[in-house]
């Protein structure tokens, strides 16, 4: 590692250590009160899109958070209005459709809008939420293109609202411990990372297989976790990417990628070898090889059951609710007016690499990314 890279890694370590302890340093990201002039202790969250993730993970997590709560819902399905209202005690005045969504501007019970829609809709609802004066938390992948990510960042900046992306693993203790070991330099120089995440996707009619709605296939949906892990383990951005796709079912995967393998080179010389797939189960891991040892998680990216080990010994923590932790962190960023460690800029950096990966597949060449 040359000294310039060493320094940039050291700077990143400082930021990360502060970030792990208490969010990234106070930056004064917006003026005035986070919550419409109220000194709220618990911020209200509006969930946009009441599909699988909102139903099974986010709403239950919001029953456990101490500094934020479910305050409103936005849905296009009238039957869901009734069931969610009674289950979570939501008054009809805090229930919106996609058509009435902009009226949320006048709803002081809502401080944060959480966008949990198909990927192509993230940009539109983030921009509309920011224009309505709300802070925005948006699911991954941030959007379908770098250009949309930039539009989202600009809209939140113009409205002086915070933007965060649902990178839940960054709040999970096994992942945090791996980052800590990597940054301590106890294992010497990092040399290579092997990372992958995939699963066998079912229903061929779902939006995840529709290019317009999903933006891409396995890479956009789950490969992004492997990519993120390489970025937060190294604390660096890749300088070049080489990728190839394999398609075994040209009908099911007519519009989106089925399996992709890719390599990334990082400025310090680390190489990453990554894979993602919608065509088989079991790929769910990362391993970091350093001069004097290794760090690994397998399984690495699920909601439960993460297991870790390094050459220093087992990496073991109690089960946590990833969504509870990420939402608590974002609410405290809003309350304390500080940048989120999973900011819009972080989401944009992933989309830059994702676009380079698709570009490399199209052109059959290595793509330079910085
Ligand atoms: P889902 O299909 O279960 O839910 C999507 C919701 O969007 C549904 O309520 C649906 O009615 C609504 N919707 C509105 N317009 C739609 C349209 N034109 N087509 C299809 N649905 C439409 O999806 P999900 O699994 O809840 O995923 C939602 C978002 O959350 C995605 O961006 C996904 O990548 C992300 N996600 C993140 C994680 C994580 O671990 N962070 C896990 C799963 C999903």
Interval 130-146: pLDDT, tens: 999 999 999 999 999 99
Q: What is the largest CA-CA distance in the chain?
A: 60
Sign of the Cα torsion 117, 323, 294, 278 reads: negative
Residue 79 contacts by C-beta under 8 Å, 6 or more apart in sequence?
none
Instruction: Point out which residues pair with 35 in neighbouring strands.
Output: none
Residue 182 contacts by C-beta under 8 Å, 6 or more apart in sequence?
190, 233, 234, 235, 288, 290, 295
| pLDDT above 70 (res 37) | no
Please identify, by atom number, the ligand 1 atom nearest to the C-alpha of residue 323: 41
50 ligand 1 Cβ < 6 A: yes
Average pLDDT over residues 182-201: 96
Q: Of 204, 265, 217, whose CA–CA distance to 245 is shortest?
A: 217
Backbone angles phi, psi at 302, to 5 degrees: -75, 175
Active site residues: 140, 225
Among 117, 152, 324, say which to mutate for ligand 1: greatest number of ligand atoms within 8 Å of CB: 117
How far does residue 167's CA lie from ligand 1's centre (Å)?
15
How far does residue 51's CA lie from ligand 1's centre (Å)?
6
Q: pLDDT (tens digit, 9 = 90+) per residue, 277-334?
A: 999 999 999 999 999 999 999 999 999 999 999 999 999 999 999 999 999 999 999 9
| pLDDT above 90 (res 339) | yes
- Per the listing, tokens 């910085």 go with 370
Residue 28's pLDDT is what?
59
Rounded to 5°, the CA angle 31-35-39 comes to: 105
Rounded to 5°, the CA angle 131-133-134 comes to: 105
How far does residue 288's CA lie from ligand 1's centre (Å)?
32
Residue 29's pLDDT is what?
59
295 ligand 1 Cβ < 6 A: no
How far does residue 33's CA lie from ligand 1's centre (Å)?
31
Q: How far is CA 211 from CA 28, 215, 228, in A?
A: 38, 5, 22
Please identify, by atom number, the ligand 1 atom nearest to the C-alpha of residue 55: 26
Q: pLDDT (tens digit, 9 = 90+) per residue, 231-261?
A: 999 999 999 999 999 999 999 999 999 999 9
Average pLDDT over residues 358-367: 98
Q: Of 272, 278, 285, whose CA–CA distance to 353 is shortest?
A: 272
Q: Tell me the three state secondary structure of residue 74.
A: strand
Which residue's CA is the nearest one to ligand 1's atom 17?
A: 118
Among 46, 47, 50, 53, say which to mutate for ligand 1: greatest number of ligand atoms within 8 Å of CB: 53
Residue 17's pLDDT is what?
38
Chain-centroid distance of CA 341 in Å reads 11
Compute how many other C-beta atoms are within 10 angstroms of the C-beta atom of residue 316: 12
Among 46, 80, 116, say which to mutate for ligand 1: greatest number of ligand atoms within 8 Å of CB: 116
pLDDT > 70: what percent of the chain?
90
Rounded to 5°, the CA angle 50-56-58 comes to: 70
* Rounded Cα–Cα distance for residues 88 and 110 (Å): 15
Residue 27 contacts by C-beta under 8 Å, 6 or more apart in sequence?
337, 338, 339
């Amino acid at each position: 590692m040359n000294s310039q890279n060493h320094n940039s890694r050291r700077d990143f370590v400082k930021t990360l250590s502060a970030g792990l302890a208490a969010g990234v340093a106070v930056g004064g990201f917006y003026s005035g009160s986070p919550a419409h002039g109220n000194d709220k202790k618990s911020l209200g969250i509006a969930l946009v899109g009441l599909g699988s993730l909102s139903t099974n993970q986010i709403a239950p997590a919001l029953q456990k958070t101490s500094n934020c709560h479910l305050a409103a819902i936005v849905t296009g399905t009238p039957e869901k209005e009734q069931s969610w209202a009674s289950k979570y005690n939501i008054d009809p005045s805090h229930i919106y459709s996609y058509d009435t969504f902009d009226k949320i501007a006048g709803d002081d019970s809502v401080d944060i809008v959480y966008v949990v829609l198909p990927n192509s809709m993230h940009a539109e609802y983030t921009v509309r939420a920011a224009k309505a004066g709300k802070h925005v938390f948006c699911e991954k992948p941030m959007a379908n293109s770098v250009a949309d990510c930039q539009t989202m960042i600009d809209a939140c900046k113009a409205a002086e609202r915070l933007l965060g992306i649902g990178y839940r693993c960054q709040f999970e203790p096994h992942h945090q411990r791996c980052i800590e070991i990597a940054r301590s330099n106890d294992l010497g120089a990092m040399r290579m990372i092997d990372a992958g995440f995939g699963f066998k996707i079912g229903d061929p009619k779902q939006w995840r297989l529709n290019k317009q709605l999903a933006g891409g296939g396995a890479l956009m949906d789950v490969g992004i976790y492997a990519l993120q892990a390489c970025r937060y383990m190294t604390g660096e951005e890749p300088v070049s990417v080489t990728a190839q796709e394999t398609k075994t079912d040209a009908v099911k995967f007519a519009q989106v990628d089925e399996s992709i393998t890719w390599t990334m080179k990082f400025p310090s010389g680390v190489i990453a070898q990554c894979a993602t797939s919608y065509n088989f189960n079991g790929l769910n891991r990362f391993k970091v090889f350093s001069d004097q040892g290794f760090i690994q998680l397998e399984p690495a990216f699920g909601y439960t059951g993460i297991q870790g080990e390094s050459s220093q010994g087992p990496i073991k923590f109690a089960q946590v609710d990833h969504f509870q932790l990420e939402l608590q962190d974002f609410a405290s960023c809003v309350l304390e007016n500080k940048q989120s460690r999973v900011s819009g800029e972080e989401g944009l950096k992933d989309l830059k690499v994702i676009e380079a990966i698709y570009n490399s597949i199209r052109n059959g060449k290595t793509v330079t990314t910085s």
